[in-house]
Structure 1
Amino acid sequence: MDPIIPSQETESTPMSATNQSTHQTCEKILTLYFLTLISALVGLAGNTVVLWLLGFSIRRNAISVYVLHLAVADFLFLCCRCIDSLIQVVNFYEFNIYTYGILSNGAIIPYISGLSILSAISIERCLSILWPIWYHCHRPRNMSAIICAVIWALALAMSILDWHYSGFLAWAYYDSESWKKVDLIITAFLIFLFMVLSGSSLILLVRILCSSRQIPLTRLYVTISLTVVVFLICGLPLGIYWFLLYWLQIHQYYPFCHLYQVTVFLSCINSCANPIIYFFVGSFRQQKRQTLKMVLQRALQDTPEEYRWRDSQPQETIEMSQSKIG
């Protein structure tokens, strides 16, 4: 009958519900950070192996130069995400917004570079299929290295503009309108790369499957196709959120409050999957045990299996005859 007791009970119920909802939200975010950290560590190990093999053990060609720079982009992106996730897991309730800003903005450069390099690989494959004579006769020798250098410089320039107008740099000032224009330019560039990547991949698929003159399927085409598919599923959502959905303030609504961390986790899966794709394609249908170097070389080979087998026959015959004579 005391009027104070019911009022206390009615006030404590919403507070307990709010605390429970906040606790569940923190658990979900912390779980996403753990998953991101684990995937980033696995991806760092895989890309380190790819970097070592392509950098010091395997003779580089036009495609392997692109794959090397793609591994560098994945490695740098995973480094930023791994450090960020580790800091958030250790100091989850002491959120350092400045450290978060450094790592989040630093990951923009390898993300844009990775998408650009993947698009360049698809364009090169299209040119080699549609105009093979012109491609092999008129292509500059160091074209892959030049294109990769231009891609890294362009990604760095766009990122610096984004940092400048967002007020992230120490000497910069915050300009909302200019920042939005820069992000729209980057969004348009990413959309252009997405269209180029999708269009060139579709042309490759149609040319291989529906052409009147049968084009043999090589391991390199399978590797590129799987890499593109994984990026479109796992890597592209982060770019859409980063430069487009952020301005819609969609992250403020409850169903989408974890969307950014989900896209970060998916992008780590994309960077982690690339080395797995290389070694899976290179070791597919191989009964005898091979080294990682041989597996990676097979994943990037642009020669059909039957042609390699025919070419190896004379050499094997010579070796057998020499052994018999001996």
Structure 2
Amino acid sequence: MEDTMTSTPDIDYNYYDYQNESVYSHDTEEQLHEDLHPGYCREAACIITVIFNVIVFLLGIIGNGAVIWITGFKMKKSVNTTWYLSLALSDFIFCATLPFTIDYMMKNNWIFGLFMCKFNSFVMTLNMYSSIFILVIISVDRCITVKFPVWAQNQRTVKKASVVVMLAWCVSSLLSIPPAKFREIINMGSKDICYANYENHHKTVVFMRFTFGFLIPFLTIFTCYSILIHKLRANQMSKSTKPYKIMTLLITTFFICWLPFQVVSILELDRTKHSLAFHTAQQVSGSLACANSFLNPLIYVFMAKDLKKCYFFLSKIESAIDEETRSAFRETSIT
């Protein structure tokens, strides 16, 4: 098999959802698909990727389910628990759809119909947007809390936080419609392939994803952090830097997981040929992006204040989130 395979500029072998998001000529589509996906999952790379996704699914469902239970039912309602509940819901929903992707990877045959083909893509894109939007909201919220403590103490309410979260989910849903809209199913003999037929809109979709899912959030978070650092240094509030560790780790983890995917997506636009090495890069970047969905609960666990005293998984998560909530409340009292 040759190392490169010719395709049109509109091809998108995006492996964020581990599905062949491809647009190519009818004459080469079957051969190209067989080259990249040779039947059932037998190759080492495919087996490793499947195992990795199973781990993401199990840890994501258990971890995010625990966070949802703690922030939604066990802890007292607060602005901070509202943020973390929404973040956990986003990751939980994504992880719940992973079995469809895992089955597709193993069988190289989409058996769930056109609706689930579109819905699976919608949920995965929704996870990306909603996660980063919530992280932006957390950053802006912390910035306002430190910069305007008196105003924040009077205006930060659970009801307003819930409205902000709903708006974030609505915007995320709207931005997730285009990738789902272009999803189609093509039959190749005994196989059904779920792929993205972007036609002439490939660059538009990638541009929207990079702009609203990475660039604008990055600039917003960077601005908030700059203001926070300046304020903390000006007031010599050295003890107040500790509560930002969880937020910092959440944001850093998100960008580490998603930056390779965004870079590979942009590089793919100008390629008229797709090498197996580039195909592997797409798989790796897609796997890294999906890994973000189970890492957040682990961050809560390892960042718990009384780690040595907390012997149970749930108590560690509650301890970390509770510390964040108490710290945010103290900050509103700073004048």
TM-score with structure 2 setting the length: 0.71
Q: Which residue in 1 is equivalent to 2:172?
A: 155
The answer for unaligned runs of 5 or more in structure 1 is: 1-18, 308-326
Q: Structure 1 pair 206/285, CA: closer, same or farther in 2 (3 Å)?
A: farther
1:51 positional shift: 0.9
- The answer to whether 1:288 aligns with 2:301 is no
Contact 1:162 1:179 in 2 (8 A): no
- The answer to whether 1:201 aligns with 2:225 is yes
What per-residue deviation string (whole Å, max 9, x for no partner) do you get for residues 110-149 of structure 1? 1111111111111101111122122222345522111111
Given candidates 266, 274, 297, the residue that maps to 2:296 is 274
- The answer to whether 1:96 aligns with 2:110 is yes
Given candidates 252, 263, 282, the residue that maps to 2:274 is 252
- The answer to whether 1:120 aligns with 2:137 is yes
- The answer to whether 1:50 aligns with 2:63 is no
1:34 positional shift: 1.7
Q: Structure 1 pair 251/78, CA: closer, same or farther in 2 (3 Å)?
A: farther
For the pair shown, the structure with the greater C-alpha radius of gyration is 1
Contact 1:58 1:293 in 2 (8 A): no
TM-score with structure 1 setting the length: 0.72
1:195 positional shift: 1.6
Structure-2 separation of matches of 1:250 and 1:230: 32
Q: Which one has more relative contact order, counting CA pairs under 8 Å at least 6 apart?
A: 2
1:271 positional shift: 1.6
Superposition RMSD in Å = 3.3
- The answer to whether 1:33 aligns with 2:47 is no
Amino acid at match of 1:193: P
Given candidates 245, 250, 256, the residue that maps to 1:227 is 250
Contact 1:219 1:298 in 2 (8 A): no
Structure-1 separation of matches of 2:77 and 2:317: 12
Contact 2:56 2:294 in 1 (8 A): yes
Structure-2 separation of matches of 1:251 and 1:64: 47
Structure-2 separation of matches of 1:241 and 1:60: 40
SS state of the match for residue 178, structure 2? helix
SS state of the match for residue 90, structure 2? helix
Contact 2:117 2:184 in 1 (8 A): no
The percent of aligned pairs where both chains have the same amino acid is: 21
Given candidates 260, 265, 284, the residue that maps to 1:237 is 260
Q: Structure 1 pair 250/287, CA: closer, same or farther in 2 (3 Å)?
A: farther
1:179 positional shift: 5.1
Structure-2 separation of matches of 1:65 and 1:153: 16
Contact 2:297 2:317 in 1 (8 A): no
Q: Structure 1 pair 101/88, CA: closer, same or farther in 2 (3 Å)?
A: farther
